Structure 1
C-alpha cells in the first residue's frame, strides 16, 4: 500500500486506528490510509522516544531492522508529543518461524547498540517472511543506561550485584528466543519468575536433545552458559547447522571463514559417506 496525501508532520487522533501493540513506554497504531505505524509514548516517556530515534538513525536502513521513517508530532488535547513513524508490517510479531534473529542482534551490536530486551515479542515478520528487530526505546547506545529489562525467561543471571548489562545479556536472551522459535513453546511454561531465575542460576536447562536441526541445541546451550563473546559467533555457528543461512550480518572476513568452515564440514561428511559406500560394496 502506498501512502496517501495526509499530513505526516503533525499526526492527530483521527488519523490513527486502534492500538496494535503495547510496550512498557509506548503504544503503536497504524496511520489510516498509509503503510506506516506511529509509536506514541505514554506520559513522561518522551525520553525513550528520543533514545529510540537516535538508535534507528544510527542503525540506518537494514533488511533485518524495522524500517524507521522519521520523527513527527502527535497533536492531542492541545498538547504536542514527539512520536516515531515506522514501517507497518501486516504479519505482526514472530511466533513460530525458525528464521533466526541472531543476525539482527549481531548487526545492532556492531553499531554500539545493546537492545536489553531481546525476545520473540520484539521481532516482526516482514512481508517476505524475514524478520525485523524493533523497539529500542529502552536500549543502550554508546554505553548509555539500559532502561528496559527482559522477562525472567530471557534474563541472564547476574553473577555480581549491580553488574551493568552488556552484549552477553542480548546473547543470553537470544538463546531463549531460538529455543522458543524452534519448539513453538514458552521456555519454563508454568514456572514462576522466582523459579525460572533459580533454574538459570543452577544451570538447569530443559531437554534440548530433540531440537532440530542437529547442532541447534548446543548453540542455545552456549548462549545460556555465556560461552559466546559476541553475537557474530552465534551467527557463524548457526551457518553450520542451517543449510540456507546466509551470514549476511557478519564482517566480510568472518563471513568468509564461516562459509569456508561450512564447505569443509560438508566436504568431510561427503567424503566419509563415499568411503562408507566404497567399503560396503
Structure 2
C-alpha cells in the first residue's frame, strides 16, 4: 500500500456557531478566528494567528481524482474540526518520491475534512487557505466546511467581496495584483509577495530595519488606506499581518474579505489594540475606524510593539476609554499617531501628506 504525507490543522467550531451563522447572518464575524471561534476582543496582542503545518504519515486506500477534490464527511456536526491536507496533482509531478502517481486519500473520521492541495502551503486565515501554485502565483481558496453550509457560504461570500474590491481598485502599487478570479470555485489568484507579512518581517528582522524604511512603511500604509477609502472601502481589520512586502520591501495592503464596501455590513472588526473605544458592531463603520487603526499600525512600525503590548486586552479597552495611549512624544511620527488615536485627523490622505512632509524634511 502506498503511503503519502498530509498536513493537519485543528480548528474548533462548536455546533452553536453553525447555528449562529445560519440564524444571524453577519454575527459570526464578531466571533470568527482562524484558530477557533472566539470573541475577537478577548484575545491578546495580534488577533489573527496563521496556522502552522505539521507533517504526519498516512496510509489509506482511496485515490485522488482531482486537485480540487474534497472528501466530505457525513457525520453530525462535531465538537471540533481538523483539516487534513493530502498531496494534489501538482505535488505528484514535482515530488514523485513523496507524492506517488496514485496516492491514497484517507477516509475522513468524524470531525475531519480532507483537502487536496493545489500548491505549496503558505498560510490559512479565518476565510481561506493560501497556497503557492507551481507557476509562482498565489491561490486563495475559501475554507470548506460541509458540516455547516451557512458558514461555508460565508467564506465564499467573503471571497466574492474580496474579488469585487480588487476589481474596484484595479492596479495600484500599494495593492497586490489580482491575476484571476474563478466565480465557480470562489478561488482568487494573486501575485506572490516574497517577504511575507509586515508583522512577521518586523519580528524577524527588527534589528536591521532602518528608521528610513520604517518611515517609508508608515507612509505607504497611509497611501494604501487612501486607495481603499477612495473607492468607498473600509478595511475594518487593519493590522501588521494584513500588509505584505514585495521583493523590494514595498508595502501592500491585503485581505479585504471582512471589509465594508459602500456601507455594507463587514464580517470583521479591528483587533483590540487597533479598535477605538467608541466602536459599535451594530453601527455602520466609518473611515475614522480605519484611521484609528492606522495610528496603531504606525506605532507598531516605528516601535516593533503593539500599543500597550504588555497589558491584557480587556485592560487596553479600559485605557483607551479614558484616552490613555502609549507615549509617542519621542517618535518621529508621534504627532500623527496621536492625532489618529484622538480623531483629530479626518482622512487617510491627510496622514499620508503629513508623513510625506516628514520624509522630505527630516534627516534620519
| 1:161-215 Cα distance to aligned partner (Å, 9 max, x none) | 733211111100000000000011122213222111111111101111221x3xx
2:358 maps to which residue? 241
1:271 maps to which residue? none
- Separation of aligned partners in 1, 2:314 and 2:280: 18
TM superposition shift of 1:22? 2.1
Segment of structure 1 superposing worse, 130-139 or 182-191: 182-191
| 1:90-111 Cα distance to aligned partner (Å, 9 max, x none) | 1101143511200000111001
2:346 maps to which residue? 229
2:227 maps to which residue? 107
Instruction: For structure 1, list consecutive stretches of 5 or more residues without a partner in the other structure.
Output: 1-9, 74-79, 244-261, 267-281
Segment of structure 1 superposing worse, 117-126 or 90-99: 90-99
Superposition map of 1:1-281 within 5 A: 12=68, 13-15=88-90, 16-32=118-134, 34-43=135-144, 44=152, 45-72=155-182, 81-94=185-198, 95-96=201-202, 98=214, 99-100=217-218, 101-158=221-278, 162-211=282-331, 213=332, 216-243=333-360
TM-score, normalized by length of structure 1?
Answer: 0.75
3-state secondary structure, aligned to 2:194? coil
- Separation of aligned partners in 1, 2:67 and 2:258: 23
**How large is the Cα RMSD of the aligned pairs?**
2.0
Contact 2:197 2:241 in 1 (8 A): yes
Contact 1:11 1:72 in 2 (8 A): no
| 1:1-23 Cα distance to aligned partner (Å, 9 max, x none) | xxxxxxxxx96443333431222
1:252 maps to which residue? none
Aligned residues: 226
Contact 1:71 1:82 in 2 (8 A): yes
3-state secondary structure, aligned to 2:119? strand
| Distance of aligned partners of 1:204 and 1:128 in 2 relative to their CA distance in 1, 3 Å threshold | same
Instruction: For structure 2, list consecutive stretches of 5 or more residues without a partner in the other structure.
Output: 1-65, 69-87, 91-117, 145-151, 203-212
